[in-house]
Amino acid sequence: MKSTERMVNLALAGLTLAPLVVKVNPNLNVILTACLTVFVGCYRSVKPTPPSETMSNEHAMRFPFVGSAMLLSLFLLFKFLSKDLVNAVLTCYFFVLGIVALSATLLPSIKRFLPKHLNDDAIIWHFPYFRSLEIEFTRSQMVAAVPGAFFCAWYALKKHWLANNILGLAFCIQGIEMLSLGSFKTGAILLAGLFIYDIFWVFFTPVMVSVAKSFDAPIKLLFPTSDTARPFSMLGLGDIVIPGIFVALALRFDVSRGKQPQYFKSAFLGYAVGVVLTIIVMNWFQAAQPALLYIVPAVIGCLAGHCIWNGDVKQLLEFDESKAAADSSQEESDVKASKKVE
């Protein structure tokens, strides 16, 4: 599978750079970029320990309301303050965040070419005047931060669509890799809530479309078109990350059972179908569409149908990633203890 992952990484990199040299159909570009990004993030999320940030049912229920408050706040900021001022503040914030995300995304590839001591030896740096605050990092992370700083500076100075997309893809991959829903029940609650959230803010108010057009930050991917009236097609990062963490959970569920990624394939297929449906409806009506309206039913429907067909509904609903990880570590400890006794 490592060779497949490398091929997908290269395909994503090539597709991101392709519009610089050849004309790429923006609809095809949206579909392939979204699917490849989800695939990369899902496989990067498979680790000996589950992702560091796990969402609870309560967090999943609150998420659409928190997202709505943030969206409305941004809308009001752009309405009553200077757009340039708001975007300047946001650019500073995303400059720092972008360096962290892009360096973390590049780190696994960079570590393969560096000596072991550069990857393992930690450096602890204390903030001046605040000695209790400290940052721990390795030299390999410092090396990875160099291209991260370059792309962030390029984006801040030029706001080029390629720099925007590179940072956006890094945010997506890190989000899918680091976030965990914990269980499929939590995932279903989150997706159902955001399904309603997306429909309300796109169809019933001008808020989301207005913020997306005004927000000059890498919170969306831009795909060049040949239409001078509409030079870019857009896809929000949430339309990749939110379904992506659900698809990644399906992959880790397969891995926890020691089986080939069967449910990952059905969830991933559902995601691809949802993105394709979004593009078809968007072009048919020539209007912005809430992507989660099509992606959420497709992902949940494909996974549920496959699960019902195989008779694994109970196992899937009872799956809890934190408990599965604890059981796995306990088994490893028991194996090590038995070896010592022998």
Q: How far apart are CA 90 and CA 73, in angstroms?
A: 14
Per-residue pLDDT of 148-194, as tens digits, reads 899 899 998 988 999 999 999 999 999 999 988 889 999 999 999 99
Burial zone of 220 (CB within 10 Å; 0-12 exposed, 13-18 middle, 19+ buried): buried
Burial of 209 (0-12, 13-18, 19+ CB in 10 A): middle
Nearest residue to 273 via CA among 233, 302, 244, 236: 302
Is the pLDDT at 333 greater than 60? The verdict is: no
**Is 329 a residue whose pLDDT tops 70?**
no
**pLDDT at position 261:** 75
- 198 among known catalytic residues: yes
State the average pLDDT over residues 299-303: 95
pLDDT tens sequence across 22-49: 999 999 999 999 999 999 999 999 887 7
Please tell me which residue in 84, 121, 239, 327 is annotated as part of the active site.
239
CA 281 to chain centre: 24
Whole-model pTM: value is 0.88
Provide the pLDDT for residue 267: 95
pLDDT computed for residue 340 by the predictor: 46
Q: Using the structure block, give the residue that is written with the tokens 């609903």.
A: 317
Is 84 designated active site?
Answer: no
Instruction: Enumerate the β-bridge partners of residue 232.
Output: 224
pLDDT tens readout for residues 44-80? 998 877 666 778 888 999 999 999 999 999 999 988 8
Compute and round to an integer the Cα radius of gyration of the chain.
21
The enclosing H or E element of 85 equals helix 83-111
Cα angle for residues 177, 180, 184 (degrees, 5° grid): 130
CA pair distance 125, 127, nearest whole angstrom = 7
Domain ranges of the chain: 2-330
Whole-number mean pLDDT of the chain? 86
Q: Do β-strands 179-180 and 53-54 pair in parallel, antiparallel, or remain unpaired?
A: parallel
Q: Which residues, at least 6 apart from 296, have a Cβ–Cβ distance to it below 8 Å?
A: 191, 192, 194, 195, 243, 274
| Helix orientation angle between 207-214 and 57-80, rounded to the nearest 10 degrees | 70
Return d(Cα 35, Cα 240) in angstroms, integer. 8
Question: What is the torsional sign of CA 68, 69, 74, 78?
Answer: positive
> Is a pLDDT exceeding 70 seen at residue 337?
no
Token pair 């069967």 is found at: 262
Say what the pLDDT of residue 336 is. Answer: 43
| Model pLDDT, residue 305 | 94
Residues 285 and 108: their CA atoms lie apart, in Å, by: 43
Question: Is the pLDDT score of 265 beyond 60?
Answer: yes
- In this prediction, residue 327 has a pLDDT band, given cuts at 50, 70 and 90, of low
Look at residue 118 in the predicted model and tell me its pLDDT.
74
* Residue of 84, 121, 198, 312 with catalytic role: 198
Give the per-residue pLDDT at 295. Answer: 95
pLDDT at 332 over 50: no
